[in-house]
Structure 1
């Protein structure tokens, strides 16, 4: 099987490639403009550390996914495309809305239109976000929860989902959508374009014994999933193409963790002396996130294996080595 991964040098991409290399008879073509490596210069783990010939099954095309054409995809005879490439910061999306619109939505639309022209017709797996749901009407949030995006980022992800599903609804093209709830782990940027995600930011500050800043009272919650659990779901979807065709899946733990609780966990696990400071809440921040993954569990037999404490211990240990 030949799998093309967009965003291959990113946080998700590096772990997904690592997971795909453990699969037998899978050849991986990464597509990434490597812009992220200027910000956070880490490469996929097995590609760097491999001593058993695995890396011979991985190659990276240094290009923007928006430049993929049907001819290029057919030239590699791709069986599956996992589309991870995306801008992912909620606050940045409010400051740079056109950049998010052009890459996340228009870029995905262009990719979809090229896929229609291919001869090999690769299975498309699109990485979406629970941000498409907006503030919850009920929790846990299943895939039928109304979508009421509150940020430009969320709106672009929902629109991109729709463009992907049009392929399926109109042309019966093989598509699956995965809504990843908040994911953390090794190789996640602690500087992302000036807008780092909460876990790597808290961990970095804790290791340096710096003040940890929380927007609002810290009672807002997130469903925090360790990245190796997350990429395992992508491999499941890829391997269960018939079951996944035309489906939308949630992946998460089904457990809410408060932001203040998260900060205290990180301080404790890292042995930090950091203090916590509360700042003004952000308008686009969601109050709660909790995934209902019952459909994913039933159809794909997927469940997360790592607890929040286990995942944080691994991640903190990795960041300590990085920051030495």
Structure 2
């Protein structure tokens, strides 16, 4: 699908409050699409959402809410032609510390989205946002067609989301796509407290403060870095 085909369409973007979701919705609106956003807005302080990601909670198309809330997805998806499901507890360290929260957001929340999608008569396609974490540590590096081998709570939850999306929507003959994001970077990315994610943001912050760059694990890790603009464009064309 070309991005131009989305003009005039209504697209639900779950998890639309962060770096990636806000960039996706911004691109969609530039194309002339109506982007309906749903996000809990609980990963950053309020000023980060407002000042860095440009989130306007007074916009009637921005819904501050939880995808796991009973009935919310059913109400919203009835208006939509497409769904980009990016909502998740997406911090690997936070999922490890709070596995029940990961289950609530990434599994129960995803099931609510899938239930609503599967019963929609209007929806044309859903995109499920997964992660390179499904590959585990890679051997010796990440290869796109490698078998999944997650080693984290977050990775486990994304594998489940992939299989559940295929199981539910494939059987119902609904159109869907699954995208696996690798390490995303780009302005206005900010460091998350108590998180090892966003390595580019960590490096640039330390460099700006005149601090040495810290490499964990001996610096032998291999990661594919993808700019957030490319992520947004690629997701929109799925």
Q: TM-score range by the shorter chain?
A: 0.7 to 0.9
Matches of 1:37 and 1:147, distance apart in 2: 30
Q: Could you tell me whether the CA contact under 8 Å between 2:40 and 2:64 is conserved in 1?
A: yes
Higher radius of gyration, 1 or 2: 1
Matches of 1:48 and 1:94, distance apart in 2: 28
Distance 1:234 1:191, change over 3 A: same
Higher mean displacement: 28-37 or 220-229: 28-37
Q: Could you tell me whether the CA contact under 8 Å between 2:68 and 2:104 is conserved in 1?
A: no
Match of 1:70 in 2: 74
Distance 1:126 1:208, change over 3 A: same
For structure 1, the residue ranges without an aligned partner over 5 or more in a row are 50-56, 238-324
Matches of 1:46 and 1:66, distance apart in 2: 23
Matches of 1:46 and 1:216, distance apart in 2: 32
Q: Could you tell me whether the CA contact under 8 Å between 1:161 and 1:177 is conserved in 2?
A: yes
Instruction: Please report how far the alpha carbon of residue 191 of structure 1 lies from its aligned counterpart in structure 2 after TM superposition.
Output: 2.0
Q: Could you tell me whether the CA contact under 8 Å between 2:49 and 2:55 is conserved in 1?
A: no
Match of 1:241 in 2: none
Matches of 1:227 and 1:72, distance apart in 2: 26
Q: Would you say 1:86 and 2:94 are equivalent positions?
A: no
Q: Would you say 1:42 and 2:44 are equivalent positions?
A: no
Match of 1:152 in 2: 153
Larger RCO (CA under 8 A, 6+ residues apart): 2
Runs of 4 or more off by more than 3 Å in structure 1?
42-49, 137-140, 192-196
Q: Could you tell me whether the CA contact under 8 Å between 1:7 and 1:13 is conserved in 2?
A: yes
Distance 1:140 1:32, change over 3 A: closer
Matches of 2:53 and 2:88, distance apart in 1: 23
Aligned length: 226
Q: Which one of 15, 34, 38 corresponds to residue 31 of structure 1?
A: 38
| TM-score normalised to structure 2 length | 0.85
Q: Could you tell me whether the CA contact under 8 Å between 2:82 and 2:125 is conserved in 1?
A: yes
| TM-score normalised to structure 1 length | 0.64
List aligned pairs for 1:120-131, cutoff 5 A: 120-131=122-133
Distance 1:45 1:19, change over 3 A: farther
Match of 2:174 in 1: 173
TM-superposition CA deviations, 1:276-312 (whole Å, max 9, x none): xxxxxxxxxxxxxxxxxxxxxxxxxxxxxxxxxxxxx
Instruction: Please report how far the alpha carbon of residue 44 of structure 1 lies from its aligned counterpart in structure 2 after TM superposition.
Output: 8.6
Q: Could you tell me whether the CA contact under 8 Å between 2:21 and 2:86 is conserved in 1?
A: yes
Q: Could you tell me whether the CA contact under 8 Å between 2:13 and 2:85 is conserved in 1?
A: yes
Match of 1:3 in 2: 11
